[in-house]
Amino acid sequence: MLLYDVELASPLMLGTAQYPSPAILAAAVQASGAEVVTVSLRREAGGTQAGQAFWSIIRDLGTRVLPNTAGCRTVKEAVTTAHMAREMFGTPWVKLELIGEEDTLQPDVFGLVDAARILTEEGFQVFPYTTEDLVVAERLLAAGCRVLMPWGAPIGSGRGLNNVFGLKMLRAHFPDVPLVVDAGIGLPSHAAAAMELGFDAVLLNTAVARAGDPVGMAKAFALAVEAGRLARHAIPMEPREMASPSTPVLGRAMLT
């Protein structure tokens, strides 16, 4: 998988919020095999002692950091947060999250396009958290994004892939664009389904962090995304309306 000219072996990305302890976070990341973790600058203040301690934990993981503008609700707020993240984490990568609706935390796609254009012009490599809308996707790509991160379902809902048709259309319309399903993944089977649709990666947080055994769940997701990727490459059979016997009838012994 190639994201902004960076080659990654694992199609699984993890968030770093809500884990029971730093030790469990580190163990879960290791078990997942994830090479990218997201970090919210709004949650972890860089100048505080707690923020510096958290950043030390993240550095020790040895993963690539994808800063996140989580919780931002205006273009100005998102752009300012992105600049702070670049200064703190030393990376041009930014997961651009711009919330437009409180109950579903659905992205404000209008502001998202504006913010993406501003940030790409300023040298950022933007990972926009968006919907599966094809027109919005076109606008984001025109704004300079080279990766798209459509939601599977509302953040933290664990509902899986709410709009499979829409996600299929997105994959079909943009066959050469890296696509990462982000948000709403609750089970390893959801992640496997996303990979079977041809998506390049899955990003999740709550499903692992809030599991009874985060480390075990991280391992389960690692296996699921790999199974889904292998299944996609193996070219699955097409579903049928009627039964088709797996054992040939022709030549079968018959009693008379």
pLDDT of 44 higher than 70: no
Does any domain span residue 116?
yes
Ligand-binding annotation for 184, yes or no, is: yes
Predicted TM-score (pTM) of this structure = 0.90
Does any domain span residue 254?
no
Ligand-binding annotation for 205, yes or no, is: yes
- Count structural domains, the chain: 1
Check: CB of residue 122 under 8 Å from CB of residue 128. no
Ligand-binding annotation for 156, yes or no, is: yes
What is the average pLDDT value for the chain, to the nearest integer? 92
Does any domain span residue 256?
no
Does any domain span residue 82?
yes
DSSP symbols for 101-139: -TTT--B-HHHHHHHHHHHHHTT-EEEEEE-S-HHHHHH
Tens-digit pLDDT profile for residues 47-96:
555 566 777 888 888 899 999 999 999 999 999 999 999 998 899 999 99
**pLDDT value for 242:** 87
Does any domain span residue 251?
no
User: What is the CATH number for 222?
Assistant: 3.20.20.70
Does any domain span residue 183?
yes
What is the rounded distance in angstroms from the CA atom of residue 204 to the CA atom of residue 210?
Answer: 11
Ligand-binding annotation for 192, yes or no, is: no
Ligand-binding annotation for 47, yes or no, is: no
Does any domain span residue 246?
no
The tokens describing 140, both together, are: 């984001």
Q: Give the structural domain span for 126.
A: 2-234
Tens-digit pLDDT profile for residues 200-245:
999 999 999 999 999 999 999 999 999 999 999 999 888 888 888 8
Does any domain span residue 248?
no
> Hey, which residues are catalytic here?
95
